[in-house]
Amino acid sequence: MALLEVKVPDIGDFKEVEIIELLVKPGDTVKAEQSLITVESDKASMEIPSSHAGVVKELKVKVGDKVAEGSLVLMIEVEGSGLLAATRTASEAGGAPVDVLVPDIGDFDEVTVIEVMVKVGDTIQVEQSLITVESDKASMEIPSSHAGAVIEVKVKVGDKVRKGSLVAVVQASGASAAAPAAAAASAPGAAVASVPAPVPATAVAKALPTAALPAHEPSAPKGMLPHASPKIRKLARELGVPLGELNGSGPKARITQADVQGFVKSVMAGATQTRAQAAKAPDAAASGGTFPGLLAWPKVDFSKFGPVERKGMSRIKKISGANLHRNWVLIPHVTNHDDADITDLEAFRVSTNKENERPGAAGIKVTMLAFLIKACMAALKKFPEFNASIDGDQIVFKQYFHIGFAADTPNGLMVPVIKDADKKGIFQISQEMGELAKKARDGKLSPAEMSGGCFSISSLGGIGGRYFTPIINAPEVAILGVCKSSMEPVWDANLNGGAFQPRLMLPLSLSWDHRVIDGAAAARFNAYLGQILGDFRHVLL
Ligand code: CAO
């Protein structure tokens, strides 16, 4: 056992580079060639690998530190290991068009092309990686020695190449005259290979500058890097993508640019959650959630402005809040507002209830909501796209009619469901609604009594208001909001000379999912609903 120092090796023309990532911590067991830190200059990022296998005893650097050749990185306890020796050269072909060749890649006779990163027509910069090659010990990227347009790509995935193999032909751009000098000035950008060598008394890690990286197994164990090039890791860092959570689609499960982009798209679309997001999920639900690119929720010390009291959110509020938030964000909502003339219907409801109060009658109170459920039923039958759900790229049209209704409870919003409302009469619906609403208020609703809904109604009619924009209850595609009816003067052109008539008008607000329903259908749905509520005989037509 020996305690050795691992120092920053010769890193080419870079005097000082900044540490942007620590890849190991004290206690980690590292292999020879395993990357220890990532450093970045204004030109390139590179990884400093360990020259020894052993156990990290002490880290001597932190993120943000500036290091140069000879800076102490960490102390490692070794039993026996190898020292890395690195060589580098740059391809400096000149003229236009120019051949870009595989440069000296150290002791590797032949390496396999595992990725071709450019295609004919691409405009490339000096040092831009053209291909990735892999030996049994390391993978490395071969950068271009010239800026310009790619005229020909001379290799494909699976080809074997060696020093001097033709990679591509580049039509050098105006800047190409300076290319050889630029390439030479940034020699670390050229291909580099590393080989094990005997261990000296003091360990000095040799950098694999810019493009080269130690080989990593696809299923990188904890503490080791995922199988991806420095370029991809830099991209991932910039985008905040946790590479360890990606499955590489490249050769040997190597993570490609497309994998990183696909992951970002998937997270943005809500189809994938990072582990960090998943860990934060309960907080996000309680705080109104966070969105990439949006400002964080304001943190305010309210007590600075006056006395406050804090109460935990009820379980129902947390659950319904998270659902409402998802639905509001993911469903493209549109809300149509309309009015229905319920003068005659309300008169019928009141007289029915009076009859029902008589001795010997069933005593069931008929509610306006029960009529609304029945009217919606008829509209759902006429407009099946409102009785549907999205499932992937299919629309599921339901042939059953279960209607949910929002119930206000002391613990928060709940949505019990009246099953098979099309097979039930107004009395039965009124009675079931009363029972379910009581259960909801008493916190006794079973999950089965809240599931299977096709369409929901949210009635604020007993409370007040004119119109509102109800949030669709996913995976349903529409919801009807109802507010308080009021007596209004309605112009009646059929009267002698026309006149205003006092009519009881019910405000309706229909929110619908624009992915499934369009505006014309929504307007027709509301108009039909208005017709039925105006005269229930329309249901029979
Ligand atoms: N216009 C005018 N008056 C109305 C009305 C309307 N649209 N709807 C109901 N009313 C009247 C009723 O006739 C009743 O009056 P009477 O006692 O004189 O008969 C009174 O308002 C109370 O009705 P209610 O609200 O108790 O009963 P309901 O059947 O209309 O509704 C229920 C039941 C469970 C839906 C309701 O209690 C409830 O919880 N509503 C809130 C729903 C909600 O929170 N929605 C918002 C969701 S988004 O946050």
pLDDT per position as a tens digit, 481-522: 999 999 999 999 988 889 999 999 999 999 999 999 999 999
pLDDT at 274: 81
- Does 267 have pLDDT greater than 60? yes
Name the residue of 342, 367, 372, 415 whose CB sits within 8 Å of the most ligand 1 atoms, as the mutation to test its pocket: 367
- Does 403 have pLDDT greater than 50? yes
What distance in angstroms lies between residue 256's CA and the mean position of ligand 1's atoms? 57
Give the pLDDT mean for 518-527: 97
Q: Which residues line ligand 1 (CB under 6 A)?
A: 367-369, 405-408, 413, 437, 458-462, 482, 484-485, 506
If pLDDT is split at 50, 70 and 90, which confidence band does 254 have? confident
pLDDT at 382: 97
CA distance 242 to 233: 9
Tokens at residue 83, please? Answer: 């020292």
- Does 272 have pLDDT greater than 50? yes
Give the pLDDT mean for 14-21: 85
- Total residue length of the chain: 541
Give the number of the atom of ligand 1 that is nearest the alpha carbon of residue 482. Answer: 7
- Does 184 have pLDDT greater than 50? no
Give the pLDDT mean for 415-444: 95
Give the pLDDT mean for 47-69: 88
Distances (CA, A) of 6 to 19, 53, 56, 169, 212: 15, 11, 10, 41, 19
Helices then strands, each counted (H, E), the chain: 9, 30
pLDDT at 106: 73
pLDDT at 213: 26
325 is catalytic: no
What distance in angstroms lies between residue 534's CA and the mean position of ligand 1's atoms? 19
pLDDT at 204: 25
Chain mean pLDDT for the chain? 81
Q: Which residue has the tokens 């102390």?
A: 75
pLDDT at 129: 85
pLDDT tens-place string over residues 297-314: 899 999 999 999 999 988
Q: Where are the beta strands (DSSP E) in 231-282?
A: none
> Which value, to the nearest 10 degrees, does the dihedral of the CA atoms of residues 195, 201, 204, 206 take?
-10
pLDDT tens-place string over residues 77-94: 887 433 333 223 233 334
Q: Which residue has the tokens 């032949």?
A: 110
pLDDT at 195: 25
- Does 103 have pLDDT greater than 80? yes
β-pair partners for 510: 336, 480
pLDDT at 223: 38
What distance in angstroms lies between residue 368's CA and the mean position of ligand 1's atoms? 8
- Does 165 have pLDDT greater than 60? yes
* Whether the Cβ atoms of residue 180 and residue 112 lie closer than 8 Å to each other: no
- Does 160 have pLDDT greater than 70? yes
CA distance 267 to 241: 10
Give the pLDDT mean for 239-243: 88
pLDDT at 423: 96
Q: Which residue has the tokens 């305690």?
A: 3
Question: Residue of the nearest CA to atom 8 in ligand 1?
Answer: 461
Peptide bond into 143 cis (omega under 30): no
- Does 472 have pLDDT greater than 60? yes
Name the residue of 351, 356, 357, 368 whose CB sits within 8 Å of the most ligand 1 atoms, as the mutation to test its pocket: 368
What distance in angstroms lies between residue 181's CA and the mean position of ligand 1's atoms? 80
Residues 6+ positions from 177 with CB-CB distance below 8 Å: none
CA distance 206 to 88: 11
Give the pLDDT mean for 256-283: 77
Catalytic residue among 216, 402, 514, 538: 514
Angle (CA) 237 239 241, round 5°: 70
Question: Residue of the nearest CA to atom 6 in ligand 1?
Answer: 461
β-pair partners for 58: 75
Q: Which residue has the tokens 């990439």?
A: 292
**φ, ψ dihedrals at 329, nearest 5°:** -80, -40
Question: Residue of the nearest CA to atom 23 in ligand 1?
Answer: 462
Q: In percent, how much of the chain has pLDDT > 70?
A: 82
pLDDT at 468: 97
- Of 295 and 33, which is predicted with more confidence? 295
- Of 127 and 334, which is predicted with more confidence? 334
Closest CA to 337 of 464, 509, 511: 509
pLDDT at 73: 93
CA distance 459 to 484: 8
CA distance 76 to 156: 41
What distance in angstroms lies between residue 59's CA and the mean position of ligand 1's atoms? 67
If pLDDT is split at 50, 70 and 90, which confidence band does 208 have? very low
Q: In what order do the strands lie in the sheet with 213-214?
A: 160-161, 111-116, 129-134, 138-143, 213-214
CA distance 22 to 63: 7
